[in-house]
Amino acid sequence: MNWTKTYDNNDNDIWEALSPYGEDGLQWRLMQKLQGNKIVWYEAHDADLLDDPDWAEEFENLEAAKEFVEIQDREIRTTFLEDLERDDLP
């Protein structure tokens, strides 16, 4: 995935990547926050990409967060391709 780094108004890192639904403008998004005297990363994707925004996953480091999202992305893309192939069958 092609991740790009931006910043919020407080200079916190935001990492974004195009989702499988990029033509609709939906982005995967990882943001950081201070929790219990340490920085954690959390899912802040466009709402349509989260199963339940109230239960977004949190991660202790950026690498784990990116890996989690990349697995989700791969699963969505694989399922989409399988559905297309199934639809093409007579």
**pLDDT for the residue 65:** 94
pLDDT(2) > 70:
yes
* pTM: predicted TM-score of the whole model, two decimal places: 0.77
Q: Which CA distances in Å does 33 have to 1, 39, 56, 73, 79?
A: 23, 5, 13, 23, 32
Range of the domain at 17: 4-88
Instruction: Give tens-digit pLDDT for 70-85.
Output: 998 998 888 876 666 6
**pLDDT for the residue 44:** 84
pLDDT band for position 54 (cuts 50, 70, 90): low
- For residues 34 and 30, what is the distance between their CA atoms, to the nearest angstrom? 14
Cβ atoms of 23 and 32 closer than 8 Å: no
How many structural domains comprise the chain?
Answer: 1
Can you read off the two tokens belonging to residue 87? Answer: 């639809």
Cβ atoms of 90 and 43 closer than 8 Å: no
